[in-house]
Amino acid sequence: ATPTAIMVGSGLGAHRGVLFKNAAAIETSARVDAVVMDKTGTLTKGEPEVTDLVVDGLVRRRVLELAAAVERESEHPLALAVRRYADAQGARRLRASGFRNVAGRGAIAEVDGHRVAVGNRRLMESEAVDLEALGARRDELAAGGRTAVLVAVDSRTVAVIGIADAVRETSAAAVSALHEAGVEVVMLTGDNAATARRIADELGIDTVIAEVLPQDKAGRVVELQQAGRRVAMVGDGVNDAPALAAADLGIAIGTGTDVAIETADVVLMRSDPLDVPTALTIGRGTLRKMR
Ligand code: ADP
Ligand code: MG
């Protein structure tokens, strides 16, 4: 594009809080035909809250004090939700030792002489925890779009915690605007497949890539590129940075982590998913002017 067209494009973007970091970012925006969107913190608000607690074999308070002791050592947004809920329910604060974070799965620690694991099915599989117990409740929660977090004490499932993260008000409109522009939309998430599918259905997203470990997100973007797609990746987390870098166009949510913002080619200052189609429209308009 001509320098003038680029200046107009970046000016239009700035006006809407869509910051293109350089001229190449505007030009690439015009050519994107697939948009991969992270779920948590991008399509959703990233403010998870506990909505359900189903226990088996231990009283609720005991489950909460054990689970929260582990989650107090974790920086994961789900961990914060569990801690908040435990505090609100008046659970005692216990100390954990030997804390271990398991990326994309959960966390483990010793509390009160017990081995406590808090996380998803994969974590429980690797801990040889029986998945039958509370399995039906877990599946129900996932089918309802909740993230189901399991709590195991000494290798026995004692609870499933349902956690909800509201979708952003404009996520569905952003998806339909992208579809109207002829762009494929893909959801990419570390969350459970059933949970992700339910939220994708609510937003009109066809393709879901779920249960992806943080270190594998970039690889999934590359696979789409190898299938011939020009890919924009939209994300907010530390987890998303390698995928933002791998994509043809990395788009960061303005309230996202510093590393996501630094890695991206475009930053959405208003953290509004509708600014994703706006960015592509500005790119297309800029390219048209140069012809
Ligand atoms: P996302 O892409 O959803 O941000 P992550 O890779 O951070 O995903 O986590 C994937 C899954 O691992 C979560 O949906 C959750 O089931 C589980 N998980 C990870 N960390 C924790 C934790 N501290 N407490 C409970 N569950 C966790
Ligand atoms: Mg995220």
Q: Measure CA 225 to chain center.
A: 21
Name the closest-CA residue to atom 25, ligand 1: 119
How confident is the model over 123-155, as pLDDT tens digits?
999 998 888 889 999 999 999 999 999 999 999
Name the closest-CA residue to atom 14, ligand 1: 191
Ligand nearest to the CA of 190: 1
Q: Do 39 and 13 share a structural domain?
A: yes
Q: Do 220 and 179 share a structural domain?
A: yes
* Residue range 17-40: mean pLDDT, rounded: 96
Name the closest-CA residue to atom 2, ligand 1: 190
Q: Do 160 and 215 share a structural domain?
A: no
Tokens of 6: 């680029």
Q: Do 174 and 152 share a structural domain?
A: no
What is the complex's ipTM, to 2 decimals? 0.95
Catalytic pick among 38, 191, 240, 248: 38
Q: Which of 128, 145, 164 is the last residue of a domain?
A: 164
Atom of ligand 1 nearest to the CA of 38: 2
Ligand nearest to the CA of 76: 1
Cβ count near 114 (within 10 Å) = 13
Atom of ligand 1 nearest to the CA of 41: 4
Burial of residue 108 (number of CB atoms within 10 Å: 0-12, 13-18, 19+): buried
Considering its fold, how many domains does the chain have in total?
Answer: 2
Name the closest-CA residue to atom 21, ligand 1: 106
Write down the residue that tokens 């994107």 correspond to.
Answer: 32
Stronger pLDDT, 201 or 290, i.e. the higher one:
201
Q: Do 179 and 264 share a structural domain?
A: yes
Q: Do 252 and 146 share a structural domain?
A: no
Write down the residue that tokens 């231990």 correspond to.
Answer: 58
- Is the pLDDT at 199 greater than 70? The verdict is yes
Q: Which of 132, 147, 164 is the last residue of a domain?
A: 164
- Is the pLDDT at 1 greater than 80? The verdict is no
How confident is the model over 82-114, as pLDDT tens digits?
999 999 999 999 999 999 999 889 999 999 999
How confident is the model over 238-284, as pLDDT tens digits?
889 999 999 999 999 999 999 999 999 999 999 999 999 999 999 99
Q: Do 64 and 194 share a structural domain?
A: no
Tokens of 180: 């109207």
Residues with CB under 5 A from ligand 2 (ion): 38, 40-41, 236-237
CA distance 88 to 85: 5
Q: pLDDT grade, residue 290 (50/70/90)?
A: low
How confident is the model over 153-165, as pLDDT tens digits?
999 999 999 999 9
Q: For residues 122-152, b (16+ Cβ closer than 10 Å) or e, as one string? A: bbbeebebeeebbeebbebbbeebbbbbbbb
- Is the pLDDT at 195 greater than 80? The verdict is yes
Q: Give the model's pLDDT for residue 268.
A: 97
Tokens of 68: 């929260």
Q: Give the model's pLDDT for residue 287.
A: 85
- CATH code for position 126: 3.40.1110.10
How many Å lie between the centroid of ligand 1 and the Cα of residue 240?
A: 13
Residue-averaged pLDDT of the chain: 95
Q: Give the model's pLDDT for residue 92.
A: 97
Residue of 42, 75, 105 to mutate, ligand 1, most atoms within 8 A of C-beta: 105
How many Å lie between the centroid of ligand 1 and the Cα of residue 10?
A: 36
How confident is the model over 223-234, as pLDDT tens digits?
999 999 999 999
Q: Do 66 and 23 share a structural domain?
A: no
Q: Do 183 and 144 share a structural domain?
A: no
How many Å lie between the centroid of ligand 1 and the Cα of residue 104?
A: 5
Q: Do 79 and 130 share a structural domain?
A: yes
- Is the pLDDT at 291 greater than 70? The verdict is no
How many Å lie between the centroid of ligand 1 and the Cα of residue 13?
A: 33
* Residue range 200-213: mean pLDDT, rounded: 96
Instruction: Kindly state if the Cβ of 273 falls inside 6 Å of ligand 1.
Output: no
Instruction: Kindly state if the Cβ of 42 falls inside 6 Å of ligand 1.
Output: no
Share of the chain above pLDDT 70, in %: 99
- CATH code for position 199: 3.40.50.1000
Q: Please indicate whether residue 206 is annotated as part of the active site.
A: no
Q: Which of 164, 179, 199 is the last residue of a domain?
A: 164
Q: Do 173 and 33 share a structural domain?
A: yes
Q: Do 41 and 172 share a structural domain?
A: yes
Q: What's this model's pTM, rounded to 2 decimal places?
A: 0.91
Query: What residues make up the domain containing 100?
Result: 49-164
DSSP calls for the chain: --HHHHHHHHHHHHHHTEEESSHHHHHHHHH--EEEEEIIIIIB-S--EEEEEEESSS-HHHHHHHHHHHHTT---HHHHHHHHHHHHTTPPP--EEEEEEETTTEEEEEETTEEEEEE-HHHHHHTT--SSTTHHHHHHHHHTT-EEEEEEETTEEEEEEEEE-PBPTTHHHHHHHHHHTT-EEEEE-SS-HHHHHHHHHHHT--EEE-S--GGGHHHHHHHHHHTT--EEEEE-SGGGHHHHHHSSEEEEETTS-HHHHHH-SEEETT--TTHHHHHHHHHHHHHHHH-
How confident is the model over 60-86, as pLDDT tens digits?
999 999 999 999 999 899 999 999 999
Atom of ligand 1 nearest to the CA of 70: 23
